[in-house]
Amino acid sequence: MSETKATIVYNDRIVRQFLYATLVWGIVGMLVGVLIASQLNFWRLNFDTPWLTFSRLRPLHTNAVIFAFVGNMMFAGIYYSTQRLVKARLASDFLSSLHFWGWQAIIVAAAITLPLGLTRSKEYAELIWPINIAVALIWVVFAVNFFWTLARRHEPALYVAIWFYIATIITVAMLYIVNHLSIPTSLLHSYPIFGGLQDGLVQWWYGHNAVAFFLTTPILGIMYYFMPKAAERPVYSYRLSVVHFWSLVFIYIWAGPHHLLNTALPDWLQYLGMTFSLMLWAPSWGGMLNGLLTLRGAWHKLRTDPVLKFFAAGVTFYGMATFEGPLLSIKSVNALGHYTDWIIGHVHAGALGWNGFMAAGMIYWLLPRLWNKPLYSVSLANLHFWTGLVGILLYVAAMWVSGITQGLMLSATTENGTVLAYPNFLDTLNAIRPLMLMRVIGGALYLAGFIICAYNFWKTVKGAQPVDGTIEVFVEQPAPAARMGFGGTWLNAPVLLSVFLVGFSCLWMLGTSYVSVAGLVGAIVTCVAGYALLYSRGKAWQDWYERLLLNALPFSVLTFVAVAAGGLIQIVPTVLIHKADNVEDRIQLPYTPLELAGRDIYVREGCYTCHSQMIRTLVPDVLRYGDYSRLGESIYDHPYQWGSKRTGPDLARVGGKYPDVWHLRHMEDPRSVSVGSNMPSYPWLLENNTDVAALPSKIRVQRMLGVPYGPMSAQQIFDEANGQAKAISLGLREAGAYVAPEKEIVALIAYLQKLGQSTPVAPKAAAK
Amino acid sequence: MTNAPKQPPAEDAIREHTFDGIQEYDKRLPNWWLFTLYAAIAFWVGYWFYYQNAKIGLSNTEVLQQELARIEAAKLADPANQLDDGTLWKMSRNAVFVDAGKATFTTTCVSCHKESLRGTDEGGIGPNLVDNVWIHGNKPTDLLKVVNEGVLAKGMPAWGPVIGAKKTSEVVAFVLSHHEVPAQ
């Protein structure tokens, strides 16, 4: 075996660039967060300006924090640690730079388009289709750069951090592409190919696992590199790494439906969402344990080292959030907490506590090493820690109290349980206003912490000489014996047993009578066999796994199979089933052209950020909003608008509830008809004209997606829209208010008055 | 050395291979952690059997229908649902009912019918309730029906299911208190 010595210079320039971007976008994202939190309490802060209005800025806040702040932080951490863990410089300087600048361009594009109301309205997937394509391409650039680097590695085995990075790259690509499948109607607008239930299911398969594979797995990888480095202690348990990695990536995917509990989602999917969320608790805590227990023997360092303070607190918040997640996935807990501020508190425990603190710890650890200069001020870093910690605690506590208070008020009944105790939604909103203010204070403190960090960062790197890490390696020829082909990857006990176990379990869960029983028996036999084999042949399994770690491609393939399984089982049956079999006893009336235009205005303004369109199968929901929502009632909704938060009331059956003139006054100034409302005013809807010209193209795409529009010429579409608009305008005039028929408010009123209208269909004979 | 710390065998062995200086122990999985994992799996199996395989547990809609039936029964048994014109007129002269009705009116009805009850005549959305024009019938029970069931075509919501029989009758009494009791 020939050995030559080579010196490798790491590409640390790209890490520094991503670090700058992390801080800049982090502060921008948090600043927008503080603004929109204030808008909830002080509606005047919407300034009656479209691009400063809450419902348009809220997606900007979430996207900025997730994709800009955590995204850039993740890329910095992955690029820094991967080069060192595989002893190779990043494969291509060009791809690295393309990745960096492409990602920043996407962020800028998002920051411009979202406030302009260019949106797909699917949460964390709002960006319009041309930007979606750019994101997918840049992600591929990242993937190629990463896997190419792995291919050129001088370290044969893959460390646990790399496993998590691989899972991240593969899974995010899969989720992102499927959830963004859409058909454009113009350069800036498209309709998703899924509608109603399917769209909701795909959205939360994506949304839930964006949290898993964008906010969790990469950060766990970063934890596995930076935490033992900073603590100078060995990682607690390799075995725990193996078990919690595979159980985490496999189980996470299945838990998506817990975002749709008690809705029209079919029961079996709700059962899956709830039970798999509970099974996810232990795998998540496996990561927390491996992090915290790595600090054993280094706890005293926490007193002096801000890096470890941030890491220890970050991992603790991770543990708290991943305990709260399964808790909120229990159907009865979810009935109380869903749509309330409790969820907002939960995600901020994750985003501020876990992501934000891990980012801060990583930044303070990297600064002296990337600029070869001690940190400007350790005291300021400590100040950042305590300010941030107090900020999070205020924030999360406020949201817990707020969510539970409002949830209890919304479901409280009187008179022997026959009527709501607080029929006026605004009573429940105004009860939590002090807590919403406390949230602003907590968020502002957290932001202040990051501004301190930026100052510390700036003072450290100013005038400093950036340094790139180097290492000397012995270039070895890879041993051919370690190569793993198809047989080595698949035909071995652990993989085969896992495949059988999942297959049998699915037969048991989803089959009927004999199939189900056979599945159960098969699953039990597989478990027993697996248990017996683990004891007799455990060593061989270990050796196989060690060999798998020498083979990046087979490892990645197995990871992909593990993450793809849950989605396949949940989504494919729902998509393949004939739509007519999945409507329950009602089917919605398709929107007229004017109503469709109104719906697009509803989507553009981001109404879904505060209003759901889903009356759950719960007594308080039915008492407050009317009969529970059926699957068929949103079957033509591309995109679906079930929503995830009720800052205002549900709108599924708002159609016909109020006269047109009520809606006109309400949109112009909500407080004129709803005293005490915190909803922004939308006066521009009374000034802008409806975009009727776009309707023929939109209706053509809707027809392609299966919405039953008859053949209509463009002229017929215009005539129908104008006719309906004139009738509404005339009605408004009779009620004492004049609005020209071509104004957007008329289209929006047409849409709102359509909500909840459906025709009954004969229930299908139980076809299952 | 007698005081040497006991070395748990294999437990604290550090794995041979290091990555960029990072070492790894290979410690046993904590028992309590394994217990939570197994308990959650057992719960999944039991839950699935109870609700999906054996269908012993009721589905969401079945639970809801049961609850709604109970609520309907309670409402049917409620005397506030069996009011006649005479009783409503009497209630409208009783300060207890009228004051309670006024409170409900202020929170629920004024946005359309206005504080003065003059509605459209004062820039509101709903009709005037103190003039002598009755659109949907002039008997107290007609009025009760409108409040309870709404006139959806004209934008009057059905308030019965929202505020309940007691409050609707009080609101009707409050509105009637602005009108003369007709001579028998």
Report CB contact under 8 Å: B24, A286: no
Does residue B61 sit at the A interface (CB-CB below 8 Å)? yes
Q: Which of A160, A423, A617 lies at the smallest CB-CB distance from B64?
A: A617
What pLDDT, on the 0 to 100 scale, is given for residue B174? 94
C-alpha separations of A340 from A201, A648, A650, A717 in Å: 20, 10, 12, 40
Domain ranges of chain A: 481-579, 586-760
Min CA distance, A745 vs chain B (Å)?
17
- Do residues A12 and A80 touch, judged by C-beta distance below 8 A? yes
What pLDDT, on the 0 to 100 scale, is given for residue B78? 78
pLDDT tier at A766 (50, 70, 90 boundaries)?
Answer: very low
CB-facing half-sphere around the CA of B98: CA atoms within 13 A: 13
More confident residue, B23 or B137: B23
Cis peptide leading into A711, omega within 30 of 0? no
A412 backbone φψ class: left, alpha, beta (φ>0; ψ -120 to 50): beta
- Do residues A353 and A397 touch, judged by C-beta distance below 8 A? no
Does residue A622 sit at the B interface (CB-CB below 8 Å)? yes
Q: How far apart are CA A581 and CA A764, in angstroms?
A: 7
What pLDDT, on the 0 to 100 scale, is given for residue A767? 41
Q: What is the pLDDT of residues A635-689, one digit of tens each?
A: 999 999 999 999 999 999 999 888 999 999 999 999 998 889 999 999 999 999 9
Q: How many CB atoms lie within 10 A of CB A135?
A: 21
Q: Would the pTM count as exceeding 0.90?
A: yes
Whether pLDDT at B64 is above 90 = yes
Q: What is the pLDDT of residues B95-139, one digit of tens each?
A: 999 999 999 999 888 888 998 999 888 888 889 999 888 888 888
What pLDDT, on the 0 to 100 scale, is given for residue B184? 63
Contacts of A243 in chain B (CB under 8 A): 29
pLDDT tier at A481 (50, 70, 90 boundaries)?
Answer: low
Report CB contact under 8 Å: B41, A228: no
Q: What is the pLDDT of residues A505-518, one digit of tens each?
A: 999 998 888 999 99
Whether pLDDT at A504 is above 80 = yes
Give the tokens for residue A30: 């948090």
What pLDDT, on the 0 to 100 scale, is given for residue A768? 38
Does residue A243 sit at the B interface (CB-CB below 8 Å)? yes
Q: By percentage, how much of chain A surpasses pLDDT 70?
A: 97
More confident residue, A764 or A571: A571
- Do residues A350 and A321 touch, judged by C-beta distance below 8 A? yes
Report CB contact under 8 Å: A234, B152: no
Does residue B62 sit at the A interface (CB-CB below 8 Å)? no
- Do residues A27 and A454 touch, judged by C-beta distance below 8 A? yes
Contacts of B70 in chain A (CB under 8 A): 417
Q: How far apart are CA A342 and CA A338, in angstroms?
A: 7
Taking CA–CA distances from B105, the nearest residue in chain A reads: A424
Contacts of B29 in chain A (CB under 8 A): 237, 239-240, 243
Q: With 0-12 CB in 10 A as exposed, 13-18 as middle and 19+ as buried, what is A303?
A: exposed
ipTM of the complex: 0.92
Strand A413-414 and strand A190-192: pairing?
Answer: unpaired
Does residue A236 sit at the B interface (CB-CB below 8 Å)? yes
Contacts of A252 in chain B (CB under 8 A): none
Which of the residues B37, B61, B65 would you substitute to probe the A interface, choosing the one with the greatest number of A C-beta atoms within 10 Å?
Answer: B37
Q: By percentage, how much of chain B surpasses pLDDT 70?
A: 93
At the topology level of CATH, where does A586-760 sit? Cytochrome Bc1 Complex; Chain D, domain 2 (1.10.760)
List own/partner pairs for B134-140 with CB under 8 A and 24 or more apart. B139/B85, B140/B83, B140/B85, B140/B88, B140/B89, B140/B92, B140/B172, B140/B176
Which range has the worst mean pLDDT, A126-140, A521-535, B130-144? B130-144
Does residue A369 sit at the B interface (CB-CB below 8 Å)? no
Whether pLDDT at A617 is above 90 = yes
Does residue A766 sit at the B interface (CB-CB below 8 Å)? no
**Across residues A194-216, what is the average pLDDT?**
93
Min CA distance, A39 vs chain B (Å)?
24
Does residue B163 sit at the A interface (CB-CB below 8 Å)? yes
Report CB contact under 8 Å: B22, A424: no
Give the tokens for residue A136: 């997918």
C-alpha separations of A647 from A104, A343, A406, A637, B166 in Å: 32, 12, 10, 22, 29
What pLDDT, on the 0 to 100 scale, is given for residue A480? 62
Report CB contact under 8 Å: B60, A270: yes
Contacts of B120 in chain A (CB under 8 A): 735-736
Does residue A329 sit at the B interface (CB-CB below 8 Å)? no
Does residue A323 sit at the B interface (CB-CB below 8 Å)? no
Q: What is the pLDDT of chain A when averaged over all its residues?
A: 94
What pLDDT, on the 0 to 100 scale, is given for residue A765? 45
Q: What is the pLDDT of residues A230-278, one digit of tens each?
A: 999 999 999 999 999 999 999 999 999 999 999 999 999 999 999 999 9
Q: By percentage, how much of chain A surpasses pLDDT 90?
A: 86
Q: With 0-12 CB in 10 A as exposed, 13-18 as middle and 19+ as buried, what is A44?
A: exposed
What pLDDT, on the 0 to 100 scale, is given for residue B163? 84
- Domain B79-176, CATH 3.40.50.2300 — does that match? no
What pLDDT, on the 0 to 100 scale, is given for residue B133? 85
Comparing CA positions, the residue from A569, A610, A614, A755 lying closest to residue A260 is A614
Contacts of A417 in chain B (CB under 8 A): 70-71, 74
Does residue B51 sit at the A interface (CB-CB below 8 Å)? yes
Q: What is the pLDDT of residues A445-464, one digit of tens each?
A: 999 999 999 999 999 999 89
Report CB contact under 8 Å: A157, B17: yes
**Across residues A161-188, what is the average pLDDT?**
96
The answer for residues whose C-beta is within 8 angstroms of residue A551's C-beta and 6 or more apart is: A482, A483, A484, A488, A489
Strand A413-414 and strand A419-420: pairing?
Answer: antiparallel
Which of the residues B11, B15, B22 would you substitute to probe the A interface, choosing the one with the greatest number of A C-beta atoms within 10 Å?
Answer: B22
Q: How far apart are CA B163 and CA B174, in angstroms?
A: 15
Which of the residues A418, A420, A569 would you substitute to probe the B interface, choosing the one with the greatest number of B C-beta atoms within 10 Å?
Answer: A418
The answer for residues whose C-beta is within 8 angstroms of residue A316's C-beta and 6 or more apart is: A288, A292, A353
Give the tokens for residue A417: 């349980």
Domain ranges of chain B: 11-62, 79-176
